[in-house]
A and B are shown apart, each in its own frame.
Chain A
Amino acid sequence: MTLHGYAGRYLRVDLTTGHIKTVELDPVLARTYLGGNGFGTRLLWDEVGPEVDPLSPGNLLVLATGPLSGTTWPGSGRLEVIAKSPLSGAYGDSNSGGFFGPELKYAGFDMVVFQGRSPRPVYLYIEDGHAELRDASTLWGKGTYETEALIRQELGDPDIKTCTIGPAGENLVRFACINVSYMRSAGRAGMGAVMGSKLLKAVAVRGFGGVTLADPGRFWELTMAAHQRIRQNFLYPMVRQYGSAGLTALVNMTGRFPTKNFQLGAFDEHPKIGGEALEKYVVKHLACFACPVACDKAVRLDEGEFRGTLTSSLEYEAVGSLGGGIGNSHLESIVRGNRLCDDLGMDIISAGRTISFLMELGQRGIIPPDFADGLDLSWGNYHTMLALLEKTALRQGVGNLLAEGVRRMALEIGPESEPYAMHVKGQEIACQDGRGQQSMGLAHVTSTRGADHLKAYPTIDETGFPSPAVARYGEQYMPELIDPHAVRHKPMIVKDGEDFSAVVDASGHCKIGGTFVIAEIDWEDEAGALQAATGWNITADELKAAGERIYNLQRCYNVLHGLGRAQDTLPRRMLTEPNPSGTGRGRVVELETMLDEYYVLRGWDLKTGVPTRARLLQLGLEDAAERLKL
């Protein structure tokens, strides 16, 4: 029977033996976990126990799509990557735009599951139902751009899509990323290091098949309606014009722009590095697959110190991490740093945070002046920033320490440094200051992959516009819902956001173009699209349960790794040092109040933060309850 919306098969690749197997997709697994992070979570739960080191052959690396991947549903080009994270030592995933995900489905596979470790560098080539491991010894050591180009050249097809790692992944930098065709990344949680640990340099794919739909006519109507709403959304022109970097001014005004390693919530010089400033370097708007927005901008420097630099996906997070985060107002160096991070294959958020951590330790005299191989650690020294990025990727000198991420850096440097290591569960905090937006403070903590803004993605009170808030949640939560400083109702939107995110990441589409930023697709729309694609009579309620199931299993996986309420916390600064900036001035994250309410909503034990047996049974997770002895 055709499983509409899905390719219906996936690949299992044992890199130790070189054995490749095609597996039929279980329709029950599909309906219960949808795809993407749902499939990945289940695989980690079933196969990667707490005894497995993330960088050992026992870890899995899963590249997964969902039932809406490769369709006209807005932004259906996403690829989800799942593995145990070398940063948190527990659940990890990362999501990328681009064109790889759809191509994988067209080649006949919903996902690829890697296990083991290859005896020599290899890459996997997949084409129309076939897959083969190929020698990558000449590619080893090369940057991601060159690797992609060489693979296309070797196979003689410019339309091949790749996932590649750079030197950072090869050198097991704990926040190494995977670069995805073209110029996109699965940035967070160190997925590139897991790939490097398996000596897997790249995955290349070409497919000429298609995705069948249960009701093509209905699907077309629903997608066109969604596209029209997105194009009419009030944020659409801004996001198209500036991309996420356009947020910089607003985030500064509200005191949520982490500056000098979160010592400040606003950067005086932000107009020099925000979306409007960046615009003069923009040479092309680039869309990911099936995206009506094209938030991605290709940026090129035609003169100056870094002349000839071309990069894209220069997001708000780049402006924050390599800009305000380190007190740097030199925009061209941020462009250069963005290109370097992509080419070396490193998450720009974590990379920037390791540098800002070092600079704050220098400022406070916790490390000696010559600590960083003689590099000057003054705020805003962009030459130091660029040098540290290269040293980190190559693990040279002090870079060998930075490559471990801030949590391990603090362990090495000493306890007096620890309060300035800005992370949750080992993953560095991105460019949002929870003290200026309470929901974000909670979101950083409850994210299943360590500090992260994209799991709950609370955009409703970030922008504070009433109409989208009322449209999604109703009048009864107003006005606190859109007040970033109110804690009331915030656990509710964090939980709802996490569940919806789990479904969107499992279905295979984007959180900017359609669901969270330009928020025109809600639970009902998602259920409608999945009905038309798969033919299931799936309701919004069933979908909510699926999101909750995926999120709870991720939580259970973390519990299995010793994480609970004690680890659901923030760096001391966020809880005790009032934010000095913008409209967020004078506030700290009121975490414990929100956390209690969040646990109640989740049906988790208040003291331990462990899901209750009752809630797990409701979600069909009996096996998780048994394994955790609940």
Chain B
Amino acid sequence: MKFLAIDSDKCNGCRLCELACSLRAAGTMQPARSRISVLKWEERLLNLPFTCFQCERALCAEVCPVNAIARDGATGALVVSKERCLGCGMCTQACPFGTIALDRPLGQASKCDLCGGEPRCVTICPTGAITYAPGGRTGLDRRRAGAGKLASLLQLVEGGGPQ
């Protein structure tokens, strides 16, 4: 199974992912209807692309009164059924991250469906800040990055601290 892996250090903040997403999801260039948002703390030079984590225990699906949110067998994405969704918004209340939203013009819940296995945010991202990779590997990559910081600290300690 593959997941969206996000590396905020690599994100330049261009927001192309938002446009690519909204074009597929809503047919317009409209960040407000994108399922991914680049959150910014500009004074601190921090850009964080933020979207659905496809939670193992998905509260959005659990609270849905009509079972409109189900996991796609092929991609593992939690997908909103156009046929079933009432647009009640309970899922948006339940989600702890705000990554499922009501799309007003559509009148239904809208969330990342991994574009059926070819995420457009990944296609358009010019820096590799968003990648689509097997879960085992993304986890290991993060551990390695984290361990790298520890390793350099250990070297400092062993070398007697900063010169």
Contacts and interface: CB of A to CB of B under 8 A. Distances in A.
Contact of B123 (A158, A224, A286, A290): A224
B25 to A, nearest CB: 11
Q: In the complex, which of the residues A72, A158, A220, A283 has the most CB atoms of chain B within 10 Å of its own CB atom?
A: A72
A210 B42 CA distance: 23
B32 A286 contact: no
B27 A290 contact: no
Interface string B27-57: 1111111000000111101000000000000
Contacts of A294: 12, 14, 126-127
A253 to B, nearest CB: 30
B71 interface: no
A213 B14 contact: no
Interface string A198-210: 0000000001111
A285 B29 contact: no
A292 B15 CA distance: 10
Nearest to A230: B126
B16 interface: yes
Contacts of B29: 70-72, 210-213
Given A72-B16, A209-B30, A210-B26, A292 B126 contact: yes
6 nearest CB pairs, A to B = A210-B30, A287-B14, A287-B12, A210-B28, A292-B126, A208-B32
Given A286-B45, A293-B126, 7 more contacts: A71-B29, A72-B23, A149-B43, A210-B30, A210-B31, A224-B124, A291-B126
A190 to B, nearest CB: 27
Contact of B27 (A209, A216, A289): A216
A212 B29 CA distance: 6
Given A72-B23, A284-B45, A290 B16 contact: yes
Interface in A162-217: 181-183, 207-213, 216
Nearest to A212: B28
Given A210-B26, A210-B28, A211-B28, A289 B124 contact: no
Interface of A: 70-72, 99, 106, 149, 158-159, 181-183, 207-213, 216, 220, 224, 227, 231, 283-294, 298
Nearest to B37: A159
A530 B16 CA distance: 19
Given A208-B32, A213-B29, A227-B126, A288 B20 contact: no
A427 to B, nearest CB: 31
B26 to A, nearest CB: 7
Contacts of A208: 30, 32
A283 B45 CA distance: 9
Given A72-B20, A224-B123, A298 B45 contact: yes
Nearest to A208: B32
Contacts of A224: 123-124
Nearest to B20: A72
Contacts of B15: 99, 289-290
A18 B34 CA distance: 36
A108 to B, nearest CB: 12
Given A210-B29, A227-B126, A284-B45, A289 B23 contact: no
Nearest to B26: A210
B19 interface: yes
A290 B30 contact: no
Interface of B: 12-16, 19-20, 22-23, 26-33, 40-43, 45, 123-124, 126-127
| Most A-side CB within 10 Å, residue of B20, B29, B42 | B29
Nearest to A298: B45
Contacts of B43: 149
28 contacts: A71-B19, A71-B29, A72-B23, A72-B29, A72-B124, A106-B31, A158-B40, A158-B41, A158-B42, A182-B42, A183-B42, A208-B32, A209-B32, A210-B31, A211-B28, A211-B30, A212-B28, A216-B27, A231-B126, A286-B13, A286-B45, A287-B12, A287-B13, A288-B14, A291-B12, A293-B126, A294-B126, A294-B127
A516 B29 CA distance: 25
A290 B14 contact: yes
A292 B14 contact: yes
Contacts of B13: 286-287
B84 to A, nearest CB: 26
A288 B15 CA distance: 9
Contacts of B12: 285-287, 291, 294
Contacts of A285: 12, 127
B124 to A, nearest CB: 7
B7 to A, nearest CB: 13
Contacts of B16: 72, 290, 292
A212 B27 CA distance: 8
B20 to A, nearest CB: 6
B97 to A, nearest CB: 18
A211 B32 CA distance: 11
A289 B30 contact: no
A210 B126 contact: no
Contacts of B26: 210
A285 to B, nearest CB: 5
Contacts of B30: 106, 208-211
Contacts of A72: 16, 19-20, 23, 29, 124
Nearest to A312: B45
A209 B127 CA distance: 27
A369 to B, nearest CB: 42
A220 B14 contact: no
B44 to A, nearest CB: 10
Nearest to B126: A292
B23 A216 contact: yes
A159 B37 CA distance: 11
A70 B31 CA distance: 9
